[in-house]
Structures are given as structure tokens and as C-alpha cells.
Structure 1
Amino acid sequence: MQPISIAMVTDFFHPAVGGVENHVYMLSAYLIRRGHKVIVITHSHSPDRVGVRWLAPSLKVYYIPFVPIASSATLPDFFTFLPYLRTILIREHIHLIHAHASLSALGHEAILHSHLLGVRTVFTDHSLFGFDDAASILTNKLLAATLKNIDAVICVSHTGRENTVLRGELFENYDGETTLRKSVYVIPNTLVPERFEPDPPKPSDTITIVVLSRLAYRKGIDLLVATAPRICAKFPNVRLVIGGDGPKLIDLLQMRENHLLQDRIELLGPIRQNDVRSVLTKGSIYLNTSLTESFGIAILEAACAGLYVVSTRVGGVPEILPEDMISFANPNADDVFRAVEEAVQIVSEGRHDPFRAHERVKAFYDWDQVAERTENVYDDVIKSPQMELWERIQRTMQLGRFAGPIYTIMLIVDCLFFLFLEWLMPREDMDFVRANWDRDTFQELARKTGKTD
């Protein structure tokens, strides 16, 4: 594939810490190593992090002066982002926008505006959502409106693909027959295995269970609160180390206080990404109690660090690891306790080899493969015919009796606003970014930056 210019657009990026943030950075870094130009467009995270910043290996990040309203997401307004986006895309000669995460307002707006500049679009969905609560209904309708005119969709698991297809209404109607859109791909998340080398086992009778998670309801912290005292009562040689922050922290503190488990349960608080390995290598078992999970990169990191995994059987988790590396439980306290009991027995009897687990994960997952598969998606998108405005209007009207006209009006107003900006800020008055380096030399330098550290 010929080198292209790509803009990653999302609300979720560094210095915030999370799975989406790390995925966007690593994918960008490996695409740069493959010779492409990549920039990131996100919102500001503090008053002094606004404007342009650079991250290794030469990843340019535009921090737009928008303030997040909750969980690092901005308020969708559909139009104030257009002047910024138009200027950046024109200056940087962008060919393709890759938006990330269903809750990213900037991602949705970038997809809406992109056709005005002839820029192609790809969207990656990282999460699972329901269908029966008010927040999910509104989010799903926004997603369906965005994906009506998308060029390609990437999901991180097959379960996530099914969820996104239903939520985003990714169907085509030909001659009265409804078929699934062909431009929906599955590319799993991954990690850099070298960053999660296991430590040599230390002789000890104590078994440590590690939990690293956002302490929120959807992460199943209520299950952890209900199960932890039972685990400590049944196994005197077991202790728990819990890292993370969130609204459910107070429940964990109360549980520890009520059962007098201060010496058995250690609460670490927020964990930096660079410290994840050091926390994981404290333990022998990793416990995940999520109620919903599209992929579960934390599970993969724990397995790569040599831990035996216990997890609820939800979402895309069963797709991550072989069955002999993980014990599954239904999302209820009794079954989670049963699975932990099974894991303690396996680890106590020495039936789990941390170094063999690391080598197996290292063989399964690789960022070069993910970048290559994503590059293939880009290639298919670039070669496919682009939709005209009338086709976009027809697709948008299919959203429904009320949503269809509303989004169509927004699409038309967006076109008029774009024409106004073309008159107000002519392209010939802009300063363009010009690449004066040799691509082959730059690609080689990017490869030498210590695995994108």
C-alpha cells in the first residue's frame, strides 16, 4: 500500500489512561513505522495542554480547546468542531480519518464533516452497549446516524462486531433483501509482550490475587465486594491487591473495614500505565469481574505477565485466551467464588507455568499484525468509490420518521456552514505542512525508537 496521511480522531487519548488511549497511540506508532503519516486530534486535558504536542516516534497531537463534560468525553454539538477540523485536514493533507469509540463526540463529528473535504472514514468500536436504557438508546441512535455514511467499521472482537452491527444498523437493502454490510471487520486489540515479562517465581505459601480495573458498576465491582470476604475466609494464605479508581472505591473500603481485612486486601488507588507490570507481577491470579467487556486488554496483559486468569464469561472475553489459561464464571457471586477456588487449586498445585503463558501470548498477539490488517482496511477504503451527497442524504433519511429528517437537516446545514468557511478562510491563505524528509529514512528511524517507547 502506498503511504497515506491518517488522522486519528477521538476524545480518549493521553495523558488520560485507558484501553482506547493506549490502542490509539500504539496503532499510530506502528503505522508510522510502516511509512504512513499519522496525527491525532483530541480535546484539551488541562489548561496548559492545548495546541500541538509531539510524542515518540514523531506523532503529532492536536489538542483542541474543548472541555470534557464527563469521563473524558466532550459534549456533541456537531458544528463548532468543523472550523478546527477543516483547517487541520487541509494543512496536513489528510487522506483518511480513523475515529475511535462510540462515546467520542469528536469522532462522530469528524465522520460527519469528512465528506466535505473528500476524506475517507474508518471507525473502530471498542465497547459493548445495551439496548434498553435511555443512555444506550440515545448513544445507539447517534452511532447509527454516524455509521450510515461510514466507509468501514472495525470491531475488536466477534461479539463486539455483532453488537455494533445491531446498534449501528449496519445493513444494506438490495431488491427487498436485507444483507450485512461487507465493510465491517474484526481486528483484535493487542499489546507489546516485551513490556509484560513475568518475574521468576519466589518461594512463598501466599497466593496473591490481582485486580486492575476502573472501580465502576459495569466492571462488576459489586461482585468483587461480595466475593472478596468469602475468598479470604476460605483461603487463609490468599491476599488481594486491587488497583484502580472510580465511584465504587468507597464500597471496597467499607467492605474491607466491615470484615477487618486491612491486612489481606491492599487498595493501591490509580495505577499509571508504566506501573501496570510491576503490580501484575506481585500476583499469581488475575481476577476480572466485568459485567460487559468487548475485548479486555487488561486480561491479556495479566496473562502475558504470567498470571492465571479468572473472569466472568461476558462479551468478547472468551475470544482472548485458550481455555487452559483462564477459568470462566457466570456474573454472580457464587460462580465467581467457585472459579477463584478452581484457580487457587491450579496455582497451588503448580499446574500453571507463567513463562509458558507469556510465550503463548507472545505468539498470539503482535502489533505489527494489527497494523498490517488495519492498513489493509485502509487500502480497501481508499480504492472504493466515494459516496455522493445525494446518496448520503438518502442513507440518512433511512434513520426513521423523526431521526431521519433531523439528521438530514444537520447534514445540509453542515454543507452550508462548510461553504461559509471556504469563503471566510480561503485555502490559499493557509500555511500548509510540508514533509521535507525522505520517507524511507524516516521509517527506519521510527523503527529504531525502542519499540515505540
Structure 2
Amino acid sequence: MASEPSAPRRGLHICMVSDFFYPAMGGVESHLFNNSQCLMQRGHKVVIVTHSNGRRQGVRYMAGGLKVYYIPAVIVYSNASLPTFFCTFPVFRQIFIREQIDIVHGHQAFSTFCHEAILHARSMGLKTVFTDHSLLGFADTAGILLNKLLKFTLSDVQHAICVSHTSKENTVLRAALDPQLVSVVPNAIIADQFRPDPGARDPRWITVVVLSRLVYRKGIDLLVVAVPRVCQLFPRVRFVIGGDGPKRIDLEQMRERYMLQDRVELLGSVRAADVPRVLVRGDIFLNTSLTEAFCIAIVEAASCGLLVVSTRVGGIPEVLPRHMITFAAPEEDAVVAALEEAIERVGDRHNHPELSPQRFHSQVKNMYSWHNVAERTERVYRKIIDLEEPPLIERFRRYYGCGLVAGKLFCLVAAVDYLFGIILAWLWPAAGIETARQFSHETYCALAARPRKPESAPPP
């Protein structure tokens, strides 16, 4: 007797939450947008919740019908919002119910919205996933405090995702997690948007490109001391530096002190659409990060045909093949020496066929794909969606194990949040909250692919 065909699995309703999203720029922002687009193409519903950014407030629709909630919030540092603990619960609850969310997926340990959304989602009995995009130490005060917060959040999530194996080891140690509850899903790029353009380079110069947030963690202090030394050693080398942040003033002062205005170009903040146009101007891409879980910028640079010079930190050694990248210790002399080696290789490119920009592009295109990232992320969702919900006492037991003092505090926070959820359910019952209309991704794609009729000429 033939078995009956299995019913198709329904698409999941997923809410991505992070303080870091467009119009701000960075690897987390790119990951959220591109992964969400591919998940929607796989038949899932995805909405993103982030804080407002200037005039970007309320509900917006982006490419592919991606729905984004920009919630008003006070920004305190590095685009992260002010912690409010329970004040965001009414807003998050309304969104989760309106959008009929199954899984809440928080991104980035530095994001206040991420931690609060996961806490509120667990109080509502929703499944949760956390993706860690950064590495943190264990010795400094900020790292210790954030590690304790991360342990609180990850004590009650169904699964965690890291962007590299080094990041996984770091997260497992910081949050005392079972390694089986952590998966590795790397970042990716849309390689067709990062194509080499030999005509964009100035043949009179060897151009070193830097695209980064200008903050201490990105090693801008190393950049400040390395640039004048390299310019002195190589008269034909210039630097193009894009990005903004508190360390920009140090770069401006360095340029003035050594009179390098004609050899160091500071672009300021660079829009996402302009990143490929900046990269193709260069021969070498320089990354001086002091800590990095993955570094998507070096993948974009390699796809554009640039030879990469990077500090050997975090998960960076896992990202690119050895012939595409030159490593340096996070020290001034080591960075200068690595740049010297890269400049000599680029200057003698005709004797190094492995440095072909087109070859770099085709190799990167075969290595990284957002569709592969979305498929692996979906496997995590399918793995946890049918897990049995633990009793409330089990949640408290997990929080209590976070430390002698912190465990009791975490239990108190979870209990207050749970009681607050009961009060909200009494004041605004779920049955009285209007559900959002479902956006048809298939219809959107069909209409977008339909050829447009030529516009008629205006009457005389």
C-alpha cells in the first residue's frame, strides 16, 4: 500500500530583532537584510524590529516586501538603545501578536532590543534564537558585564548561532552553553554586487582602501600610526578611508601633522550602495581590527579583486584562502610589514597570476551565498519549532544557575516580566488585537518581473 504524500511544511513567521539595521551600516545590518530576503524567498514570513533612526520611524516596507518596525528609542552609545527592561514589552507583544510570530531571532550581543525582545518572547512562550556577531574578552569590565547579560539571555533560548567556529568557542565559554545548542552559520555577500572594475583604479598609484567604523575596536589607533610610515616608505602609495566614528578626528590630525592631504582621502560615512564603487578603486584592502568574529568587509573586498591585509584576530583566519590575504599581528610593526609585503606583490602582479581580480571574484562567489545561509538558518528553525515548552519553574532554575547573586536577580527580572505579561494579556487580550494582512511574496515577485508599458508622450 502506497504511503500518503506528506503535507507541505508551512512557512514560519519570524521576527528579527536588533538595534543594528539600515540606514546604519555594518555587517550585522547586511546580515539581517540579506538573510531575511532569502528566507522570504523560501516561503517564510519575516519582519524586522529595530529602533528609529532620524526620520526613519514607524512601519516601512523594503525590497521584496520586507516589513520593518522602527520603534522610537533613546540611543546611548554606538547605535545601541537605552535599556528599559520592561517598558518595551507592550510594543513587542503587540507586534508579535499582530504578525502571528512563531520565532523571535535576536542579533548581536551589544543590542539592547535583542535582549529585551528575547526576554519578552520567552514570557509569551515563543521560540527564540540568538545570533552572536562579535567576540568579547573575559578580563575587562565591559566584557565581564556583557558576558553576564549574555548568559542571562542565552539561559532560556532554544538555540544560538555564531558566524565562525572561533566565535562559537567564545560564546560557549562566555555563556557556559552546551556546544550542541550552538550552530555555526557564516555571513555571506551578494557577489554580483561586488565585481572587479580594472578601469576604476588609478594606474599612477597603489591604492589601499579602508572601510570600517572608526572606533577603537576596529584598530584605528594602529591605522593612525601605520599610514605615515607606509607613505614614507612607498611614494606611490595612497590611502582611501571610508567610515565615521569617534576616531575620525585622530585620522584628520594625523593627516595634518604629516601633510598627507594628497595621499590620504577621508570619505566619511559611506552608503551601502556606494561600497563597491569605493572598493574597486583600490589594489589592497586593509583591516586593522583588534577583535572580529567574521569580518564581512574582507569578503566584499576580495570579491572586488583586492588583496587583503588583516590582523590575525578572532575568526578572520577562517574566512578567506591563504593566497587572498596577508596576516599581521595587531601591532604597529607587524601591520607595516604586512602592508610592505602586499604592496610588493601587487606592484609585481603580472608575476603573480593567483592575484587576478576576476579569479578572486569567481572563488568568493563559489564560497559564500546568502541562499546557503538562509537554508542553514531554516534548519535551526525547524529543529526548535516543535520543542516542548518547559514549565515556568524550569525557566527559573536556568536563571538561578547564572550565579550566586546574579541568579537571584535574573529570577526576579524573569518573574516580573512574566507577571507583566499576564497584566498586559488582561488589559489587551490577544483576541482584540488585529492581525496584520499577509504579504504575498510570490505576487510581489510576479508584479516586479512584469514588463512595464512605455509611458505615452505628454500632450502638446
User: How far apart in 2 are the matches of 1:34 and 1:444?
Assistant: 13
User: How far apart in 1 are the matches of 2:444 and 2:161?
Assistant: 26
Classify 1:387/1:181 alpha carbon distance in 2 versus 1 (closer, same or farther; 3 Å): farther
Look up the match of 1:49. 56
AA aligned to 1:78 is: F
Assess if the C-alpha contact under 8 Å between 2:198 and 2:280 holds in 1: no
| TM superposition shift of 1:203 | 7.6
Assess if the C-alpha contact under 8 Å between 2:205 and 2:236 holds in 1: yes
Look up the match of 2:308. 309
Segments of 4+ in structure 1 off by > 6 A?
A: none
| TM superposition shift of 1:115 | 2.4
Look up the match of 1:144. 151
User: How far apart in 2 are the matches of 1:41 and 1:446?
Assistant: 26
5 Å-filtered alignment, 1:241-260, equals: 241-260=240-259
5 Å-filtered alignment, 1:75-154, equals: 75-154=82-161
| TM superposition shift of 1:22 | 1.4
AA aligned to 1:288 is: N
- Which among 60, 64, 71 is matched to residue 64 of structure 1? 71
5 Å-filtered alignment, 1:141-180, equals: 141-170=148-177, 180=178
Look up the match of 2:319. 320
- Which among 23, 27, 32 is matched to residue 19 of structure 1? 27
Classify 1:244/1:416 alpha carbon distance in 2 versus 1 (closer, same or farther; 3 Å): same
5 Å-filtered alignment, 1:332-343, equals: 332-343=331-342
| TM superposition shift of 1:426 | 1.5
SS of the residue aligned with 1:383? coil
SS of the residue aligned with 2:10? coil
| TM superposition shift of 1:444 | 5.1
Percent of counterpart pairs with the same letter? 52
Look up the match of 2:409. 406
Look up the match of 1:185. 183
Look up the match of 1:271. 270
Assess if the C-alpha contact under 8 Å between 2:129 and 2:158 holds in 1: yes
Assess if the C-alpha contact under 8 Å between 1:33 and 1:444 holds in 2: no
Look up the match of 1:194. 192
Assess if the C-alpha contact under 8 Å between 2:208 and 2:282 holds in 1: yes
SS of the residue aligned with 2:337? helix
Look up the match of 2:223. 224
Assess if the C-alpha contact under 8 Å between 1:82 and 1:113 holds in 2: yes
| TM superposition shift of 1:428 | 2.3
| TM superposition shift of 1:167 | 1.2
SS of the residue aligned with 1:182? helix
Classify 1:301/1:447 alpha carbon distance in 2 versus 1 (closer, same or farther; 3 Å): farther
TM-score between the two structures when normalised by the length of structure 1: 0.93
AA aligned to 2:180 is: K
Classify 1:12/1:203 alpha carbon distance in 2 versus 1 (closer, same or farther; 3 Å): closer
SS of the residue aligned with 1:140? helix
Deviations 1:118-137 (A, max 9, x none): 21000000011111122111
Are 1:32 and 2:40 matched, yes or no? yes
User: How far apart in 2 are the matches of 1:39 and 1:315?
Assistant: 31
Classify 1:344/1:229 alpha carbon distance in 2 versus 1 (closer, same or farther; 3 Å): same
| TM superposition shift of 1:348 | 1.1
Assess if the C-alpha contact under 8 Å between 2:64 and 2:444 holds in 1: no
AA aligned to 1:199 is: D
SS of the residue aligned with 1:411? helix
Are 1:359 and 2:362 matched, yes or no? yes
User: How far apart in 2 are the matches of 1:266 and 1:152?
Assistant: 44
Classify 1:422/1:129 alpha carbon distance in 2 versus 1 (closer, same or farther; 3 Å): same
User: How far apart in 2 are the matches of 1:169 and 1:223?
Assistant: 33
Assess if the C-alpha contact under 8 Å between 2:302 and 2:360 holds in 1: yes
SS of the residue aligned with 1:401? coil
User: How far apart in 2 are the matches of 1:377 and 1:445?
Assistant: 29
AA aligned to 1:383 is: D
User: How far apart in 2 are the matches of 1:113 and 1:183?
Assistant: 21
Structure 1: gaps spanning 5 or more residues: 171-179
| TM superposition shift of 1:200 | 2.5
Assess if the C-alpha contact under 8 Å between 1:73 and 1:103 holds in 2: yes
AA aligned to 2:10 is: Q
Classify 1:445/1:370 alpha carbon distance in 2 versus 1 (closer, same or farther; 3 Å): farther
AA aligned to 1:136 is: G
Classify 1:289/1:134 alpha carbon distance in 2 versus 1 (closer, same or farther; 3 Å): same
| TM superposition shift of 1:138 | 1.1
| TM superposition shift of 1:443 | 7.7
Deviations 1:53-92 (A, max 9, x none): 1111101111122222221111222201111111111111
| TM superposition shift of 1:245 | 1.1
Classify 1:210/1:203 alpha carbon distance in 2 versus 1 (closer, same or farther; 3 Å): closer
Assess if the C-alpha contact under 8 Å between 1:9 and 1:42 holds in 2: yes
TM-score between the two structures when normalised by the length of structure 2: 0.92
| TM superposition shift of 1:436 | 7.5
User: How far apart in 2 are the matches of 1:166 and 1:181?
Assistant: 9
Look up the match of 2:432. 429
Deviations 1:343-392 (A, max 9, x none): 11111111211110000000000011000000001010113322221111
Assess if the C-alpha contact under 8 Å between 1:32 and 1:446 holds in 2: no
User: How far apart in 1 are the matches of 2:412 and 2:385?
Assistant: 28
Look up the match of 1:174. none
User: How far apart in 2 are the matches of 1:434 and 1:264?
Assistant: 54
User: How far apart in 1 are the matches of 2:316 and 2:298?
Assistant: 8
Assess if the C-alpha contact under 8 Å between 1:145 and 1:399 holds in 2: yes
Assess if the C-alpha contact under 8 Å between 1:57 and 1:446 holds in 2: no
CA RMSD of aligned residues (A): 1.7
User: How far apart in 2 are the matches of 1:384 and 1:443?
Assistant: 33
SS of the residue aligned with 1:63? strand
